[in-house]
Amino acid sequence: MTLELTPGLRDALQRWGAHLSAIEGAAENTRTAYAADVAGFLSFLCRHRGAGGGPAMLAAVTVSEMRAWMAHERAHGASARTLARRLSAVRSFARWVADREGMDITAILSARSPRHGRSLPRPLAPDAARALLDTAAAQARDDWQGARDAAVLTLLWGCGLRVSEALALTGADAPLPATLRIIGKGGRERLVPVLPAAQAATEAYRRTCPHPLTPEGALFRAARGGALCRRAVARVMETARLQLGLPPSATPHALRHSFATHLLAAGGDLRAIQELLGHASLQSTQVYAAVDSTHLMQVYARAHPRA
């Protein structure tokens, strides 16, 4: 059961969210997830103490309360990775409050994040990615929707766009130029080369789309003319992967992983791939080097079995 937060805590959460957006450039999805994480923590504190309170209650948080909250989260199914994210959100909020109130939040800041192994991306093999695009186009109810689905997935695989970035394109972006200016996570801007195949796929969709594509409106439209949503793209991938017998890891985002991994396998430079993906740090991009090394070892093991 989640307790209703006091007006003071709700106001602090709203102002902190505005700070994340204006100062740190956090995306809307990130702000929403962080706010939910912190609200859950504050609700636990109120329930644990049997009373509500304002932001100043953070100064009274003890080490034992932090441990109790973390144990509660794990008992309710939170993985080590999820708990680490929630703790990061709580620390960020507490630090923001402490800076304004002059409080000591040592107990919160000293809580140790649970260890978790960093999972590697699961890219698709090139032939599987091509089969997904073909299947997605063929399974659509109408030809124009098939062309649309193929165009969106081609942008994910061929240009390394996130689903949100592809769906954020407007009629003003078409016909697609040789280079797209993309605003990604954290408001970071990057230039992405557009392959001829992605340009051709998008033009095939535009020619058949029955809805007017205005400069200010979404480029990719749903059946009734509204903007295409992330869930619809996920459904397209889910249906296609089931037909092809691919694993559940074959998601829309896996096509972006495939873009990076295939580039690296072809001799691409990690720094260049970092720029193309819009990663804030090279560390985020280096996971693809680990994926490539793992793949090479698997190939080696198949080619040179132990006697």
Q: Over 90: is that where the pLDDT of 150 sits?
A: yes
Q: What is the pLDDT of residues 32-77, one digit of tens each?
A: 888 999 999 999 988 888 776 788 889 889 999 999 999 999 999 8
Better pLDDT: 247 or 142:
142
Domain ranges of the chain: 7-109, 126-302
Q: Over 90: is that where the pLDDT of 93 sits?
A: yes
Whole-model pTM over 0.85: no
Mean pLDDT of all residues in the chain?
83
Ranges 12-26, 119-133, 212-226, 264-278, most confident: 212-226
CATH architecture for residues 126-302: Orthogonal Bundle (1.10)
Which residues are part of the catalytic machinery? Answer: 162, 185, 253, 256, 279, 288
Q: What is the pLDDT of residues 117-140, one digit of tens each?
A: 555 557 788 888 899 999 999 999
- Cβ(31)–Cβ(108) under 8 Å? no
The fold of the 7-109 domain, in CATH, is DNA polymerase; domain 1 (1.10.150)
Q: Please tell me if the domain spanning 7-109 has the same topology as the one spanning 126-302.
A: no
